[in-house]
Amino acid sequence: MNTNSKTDKICHFCSQNIKIVDFKNTELLRRFTSAQGKIMPRKRSFLCAKHQRYLASAIKRARFMALLPVSAR
């Protein structure tokens, strides 16, 4: 019975029933990156472990395709 009030913010992708994070959806990916272009930590993004991993790989793919800026400048 450890219902944390902080954890009841549901994962964005789970709530929308999105199974695969589309790396071409840069508008969405941008929401989960900081101003420096870094991937948000799970505490900030409120994603579940599964989608956080999918998001990270989607962002990396998007960077490779030059759709998102790379964090280090």
* Single residue of 13, 23, 32, 46 touching Zn ion by CB under 5 A: 13
- Shortest reach from residue 49's CB to Zn ion, in Å: 8
* Single residue of 33, 45, 51, 55 touching Zn ion by CB under 5 A: 51
What lies within 8 Å, CB to CB, of 14 at 6+ separation is 48, 51
Residue 6, both tokens: 């902080």
By CB under 5 A, tell whether 39 contacts Zn ion.
no
- Shortest reach from residue 68's CB to Zn ion, in Å: 20
Residue 20, both tokens: 């695969």
Contact 68/28 with Cβ under 8 angstroms?
A: no
Q: Which residues bind Zn ion (CB under 5 A)?
A: 11, 13-14, 48, 51
